[in-house]
Structure 1
Amino acid sequence: MKRMNSYILFTLLSFSQPLFAQPIVVWNRLLEHPNPMVSELLVKALQVTADEYGSFQLIPSEAMEQGRVVKQMANNGHVQIAVFAPTKEREESAIAVRIPVTGSLLSYRICLINKGQQERFKSVSSLDDLISSKLKIGTHRDWPDRTIMEANGLTLWKGHKYALLFEQLAAKRFDCFSRGANEVLQELDLHLDKELEIEQHLVIYYPLPFYYFVNKDNPELAVRLAKGLRMLIDNGEYEKIFKEKYAETLKILAIQDRVTIELSNPLLTEQSKVQMEKYKSYFQTLIHRSSL
């Protein structure tokens, strides 16, 4: 229901724009994202730059998986804006707007598990423990998470469709569906029929920003989006949205009280590492203030 409401909101928003508004084709998964900050922040960044760049009309793309939208943008396809974690390949395929969309919360991975399985995780207190436990972690074969976790020696189940991973978890094909702290509660809410729950003991951490990406055919749109995001940070609107969307989530997940297992991320480009370091203090403070 939440996803449908978000879709309706963007449809209404788009068609309420003037006829001369710039049409912007956006990956459907961005507009339907389980956490509304992903879509709301995009709209606000475009709105605060409207005086300089003009009005806009958001048009959802046809439904497609993440791998397909990356390839589509690499080949100058019609999708103008998408959102995903960066890799060298993705940053070569499209223009990365290197301001994290949901703070750094995508870096904090929480397990969705089947009900009654909490005890299987309580003995894990280190990366070595997690590796030797043979607990199988579910992920999408096209996500950066797959490469990151494989590089760190974890045992994986790799699916090819996002929606099916929830079905496969419920069918006990794997033990943990690793999700970002920014999305796990919303996804649990969308799959209440599957007898799933949040694992309470662990948080797996690896540096993984969540960026908007813009088609290389439209560099002005990338400049506009980056400018809008910086304006939202400077005027306090970013922090306001973050707290509205995640304060309760951070209290429920209690990240600071969990055992942290840290992984390295071999996929970050030097440019993304520099940008993450630049915003590190800001987002750490934001997460701390929001969890109080």
Structure 2
Amino acid sequence: MFKRTIYLLLSSVLTLFSSYSYSSEVTLVRVLGQQSAEDVTQDYFYQLLGKALKAGSTDPYYTRLVDATSLTQGRSMQLLTDDIIDVYWMGTTIESENKFHAVKIPLMKGLLGYRVSIIKKQNLSYFSQLSEAELKRKVACQGEHWPDTKILQANGYKVAAAGRYDAMFAMVNKGRCQYFPRAIFEGYGELAVAQKTFNDLVMLDDVLLHYPYPIYYFVNKKILR
């Protein structure tokens, strides 16, 4: 099943890039690097893209990481608009699909919408017993340009929006928000890095948030022209 997914991804992505080469011999594919040390899941999507491009083609290509240190999601999307990067992976929205071309293969089978939360250790027992109504009265940290922020707010949750991804770990540690929801494939790796600086942070996984939220690869629509 995994190989089948790679093949379908390859078919979509490689077809788009077949006429979008930066020379007659080698195709360059530019993608974002990590936003910070905690951003450990970026490498998975980078490696997945490389395997997809390599799996069914003998055409030479290489990927280049573009510095994404402290970039907001809004700025990252602008880099795709401005042709500074070629591929960007993110949770989908209607606006994103209107603006860019989405390769509609959900890269994590919908797991982006299943959320554990990073919290202070002292609050673990308390948060594990909260009702939904009580949780809505607590403040969640989320990115200023993340679709999650609007999703949570539309469902009655309080959100403190931050411009920088890495700042949200400090915000939880300082009590500026009470929990930081993360996808279940993101949270544990991020927490392991964050705990080197904030050793009072732990994972709340007795309570999950869930909303439909696939993550896709996106490319600039001009590739299709």
Report Cα offsets for 1:23-50 as digits up to 9, x if no partner.
11112249x8512432221111111132
Aligned Cα RMSD in Å? 2.0
Q: Determine the structure 2 residue equivalent to 1:205.
A: 210
Q: How does 1:58-73 map to 2 (within 5 A)?
A: 58-63=63-68, 64-73=71-80
Alpha-carbon distance in structure 2 between the residues aligned to 1:70 and 1:200: 30
Q: Confirm whether residue 148 of structure 1 aligns to residue 151 of structure 2.
A: yes
Structure 1 pair 216–29 and aligned structure 2 pair: CA distance change class (3 A): farther
Alpha carbons 1:71, 1:93 under 8 Å: kept:
no
1:45 corresponds to 2:56: no
Offset of 1:113 from its aligned partner?
A: 0.6
- Deviation of 1:172 after TM superposition, in Å, equals 1.2
User: What is the TM-score when the length of structure 2 is the normalising length?
Assistant: 0.80
Report the secondary structure of 1:218's partner residue: helix
Rounded Cα–Cα distance in structure 1 between residues aligned with 2:114 and 2:210: 5
- TM normalised by structure 1 equals 0.62
- 2:164 pairs, out of 161, 166, 190, with 161
Higher RCO structure (Cα 8 Å, ≥6 apart):
2
Identity of aligned residues (%): 26
Per the TM alignment, residue 138 of structure 1 is displaced from its structure 2 partner at its CA by 0.5
Larger strand percent: 2
* Residue matched to 2:28: 23
Whether 2:141 is the aligned partner of 1:135: answer no
1:95 maps to which residue? 101
Q: Give how far 1:187 is off.
A: 0.1
Shift of 1:87: 1.0
Counting helix residues as a fraction of each chain, which structure ranks higher? 1
Q: Which residue of 2 aligns with 1:272?
A: none
The residue that corresponds to 2:61 in the other structure is: 56
1:97 Cα offset (Å): 0.8
Classify 1:182/1:139 alpha carbon distance in 2 versus 1 (closer, same or farther; 3 Å): same
Give the match for residue 12 of structure 2: none
CA gap of 1:82–1:21, structure 2 versus 1, over 3 A, is: same
Could you tell me which runs of 5 or more consecutive residues in structure 1 were left unpaired when the two chains were aligned: 1-18, 221-292
Unaligned runs of 5+ in 2: 1-23
Aligned pair in 2 of structure 1 residues 109, 23: CA closer, same or farther (>3 Å)?
same
Whole-angstrom CA distance in 2 between matches of 1:135 and 1:167: 17
- CA distance in structure 2 between the partners assigned to 1:198 and 1:121 by the alignment: 11
- 1:205-242 Cα offsets, whole Å, 9 max, x none, are 0011111111212239xxxxxxxxxxxxxxxxxxxxxx
Q: Distance in 1 between matches of 2:169 and 2:31?
A: 25
Distance in structure 1 (CA, Å) of the matches to 2:128 and 2:97: 38
Tell me the CA shift for residue 103 of structure 1.
2.1
3-state SS of the aligned residue for 2:89? strand
Is 1:122 the counterpart of 2:123? The answer is no
Q: Is the 8 A contact 1:70 1:93 kept in 2?
A: no
Q: Structure 2 CA distance, aligned partners of 1:27 and 1:92? A: 21
Q: Is the 8 A contact 2:31 2:46 kept in 1?
A: no
Cα drift, residue 179 of structure 1: 0.2
Paired amino acid for 2:192 = D
